[in-house]
Amino acid sequence: MKALAQTTGLFGFMFLLFIVIGWLIGGFFMGSPLFGMIFFLGIAGIMNFVAYFYSHKIILRSHGAKIIEEKDDPRLFNIVKEVARGADIKMPKVAIVPSDTPNAFATGRNEDNAVVAATQGILKTLDDEELKGVIAHEIGHIKGRDMLIMSIAATLAGAITFMARMVWFQMFFSRRRIHPVLLVTMILAPIGAIIIKLAISRKREFEADKKGAEISKNPNALADALEKLNSENKKNPMKSKSTSSASLFIVNPFKRSGFVKLFTTHPPTEERVERLREMASEFTYL
């Protein structure tokens, strides 16, 4: 409940930020603050519509993921089936990503459209219990509707950035003096939106770890998997132009930059592992 309240609060702040920017742009450039707010809410609505219905297809295609049947990879398929049954959800589709970097992600707006994707690398790196823990983590995302939450967060952040770029465009081609309040807002708003989006992503990862441990009933296996994946992804990052999907993966699969902790899509692996080890100790007393 605490994580849900925090996520709701972050969404509320982002939505308020969006309205304020639309109001300011409407007042300075459109002659009506209300019109500006409604106009940009409409743009956000269209973007969310596209994200809701098509984001999972775009993500799968961008990483070359192929939907498989049981005969294509019985081990992966049956682990997904077992975990889905234990979590009491519909069997999601299963996909394999042609990459040697060990990782996994889930996508889809709901249980009916959910897909659990694993890379070829993760199938070689993890044993069955560790792989089960990772799949349980991804099933946890599905149960929490995290793919929808993150799609909306990403869309709102993208819309705020789009609004800021429109203002910069107007400034570049117009001699009109820009009010300092609007100027400062256009600089800080996109940064704030990205920070909020990443904060939501990190909170959802913690929740998916918790759900995954509860579903698999083996927190230590998921902790072991995270340690292996974190190490292997640092040594062999995924080569892809679609780095915007980093938050979907169980660990960041792309080359790490020098950004501070505030700008990471995932919580520190050490902290995630520590929480899972604590859960494991609680399991032993039950």
pLDDT digits (tens, 9 = 90+) for 48-97: 677 777 777 888 888 889 999 999 999 999 999 999 999 999 999 999 99
Element counts in the chain: helices (H) and strands (E) = 9, 4
Q: Would you tell me how many other CB atoms lie within 10 Å of the CB of residue 7?
A: 19
Q: What is the pLDDT of residue 72?
A: 96
Q: What is the pLDDT of residue 221?
A: 97
Q: What is the pLDDT of residue 285?
A: 47
**pLDDT per position as a tens digit, 214-251:** 999 999 999 999 999 999 999 988 876 556 677 789 99
| Active-site pick, 138, 205, 207, 232 | 138
Q: What average pLDDT is seen over the chain?
A: 82
Q: What is the pLDDT of residue 128?
A: 97
Backbone phi, then psi, for 140, in 5-degree steps?
A: -60, -40
Alpha helices in the chain (DSSP H): 2-25, 33-62, 74-87, 120-125, 128-143, 146-173, 180-216, 219-235, 269-285
Q: Which residue did the predictor score with more confidence, 207 or 172?
A: 207
Residue type present at position 66: K
Residues linked to residue 105 through DSSP beta bridges, in sequence order: 117, 249
Q: What is the pLDDT of residue 163?
A: 73
**138 annotated active-site:** yes
Q: Tokens 């297809």 map to which residue?
A: 57
Residues linked to residue 93 through DSSP beta bridges, in sequence order: 115
Q: What is the pLDDT of residue 258?
A: 53
| 21 pLDDT tier (thresholds 50, 70, 90) | confident
| 156 pLDDT tier (thresholds 50, 70, 90) | confident
| 202 pLDDT tier (thresholds 50, 70, 90) | confident
Query: Residue 56 is part of which domain span?
Result: 2-285
The count of structural domains within the chain is: 1
